[in-house]
Amino acid sequence: MASLAPSHLTVKPSAKAAIIAKAYRSALRNLGRGQVKLHASGTKAEIPLPIEVAKVLGSMLTALGDGRSVSISAEGGELTSVEAAKRLGVSRPFIIAQIEAGRLPCRMVGSHRRIKIDDLEAFRIRMERSDKAMQELADQAQQLRMGY
């Protein structure tokens, strides 16, 4: 299943797609430093892929092969609050609360919020760091038998 929004694509693989992705991923790994080319079946056309594109493709195939969804976003793209919430695995009201608290920037388009993908990624990283720090404090408290 794929959903396309301006400058954003999310793909959740079927079981069959995951199996195929694993096969392609394996083939890409075995290429080593050789050039990667796309070949259209039934034609003589071959399209060389720059190494950067092959690396992105390899990362996508790894995730798809593991059965995980893959999102591709163009730099500078924007998401709605619903899309941002889905991407972080949180609720839309949580996203709105973060915007209203000034922790997540957005711009208004009429009455609709638009969140830059780069801003959402920075926010995600801050959330992960905060979660990690809280877990470290909880672990220390348990080691010191503080009753937490």
Q: What is the full per-residue pLDDT of the chain (148 aa) written as tens digits?
A: 444 444 566 777 788 877 877 777 777 666 656 667 777 788 888 888 777 777 788 788 888 888 887 877 766 789 999 999 988 889 999 999 999 999 999 999 999 999 999 899 899 999 989 888 888 888 888 888 887 6
Closest by CA to 78, choosing from 118, 122, 126, is: 118
Q: Tell me what pLDDT residue 2 has.
A: 46
Residues 24, 58 within the same domain: yes
Residues 9, 67 within the same domain: yes
Q: Tell me what pLDDT residue 6 has.
A: 47
Q: Tell me what pLDDT residue 94 has.
A: 95
| Among 27, 52, 73, residue at a domain's last position | 73
Closest by CA to 127, choosing from 100, 98, 106, is: 98
Q: Tell me what pLDDT residue 75 has.
A: 67
Alpha helices in 1-113 (DSSP H): 15-30, 51-65, 81-88, 92-100
Tokens coding 47? 């399209």
| CATH number of the structural domain spanning residue 122 | 1.10.1660
Residues 52, 98 within the same domain: no
Q: Tell me what pLDDT residue 109 has.
A: 94
Residues 8, 61 within the same domain: yes
Q: Tell me what pLDDT residue 33 has.
A: 60
pTM for the predicted model, two decimal places: 0.55
Q: Which domain holds residue 28?
A: 2-73
**What letter represents residue 35's amino acid?**
Q
Residues 7, 58 within the same domain: yes
Residues 106, 49 within the same domain: no
Q: Tell me what pLDDT residue 3 has.
A: 44
| Among 31, 52, 73, residue at a domain's last position | 73
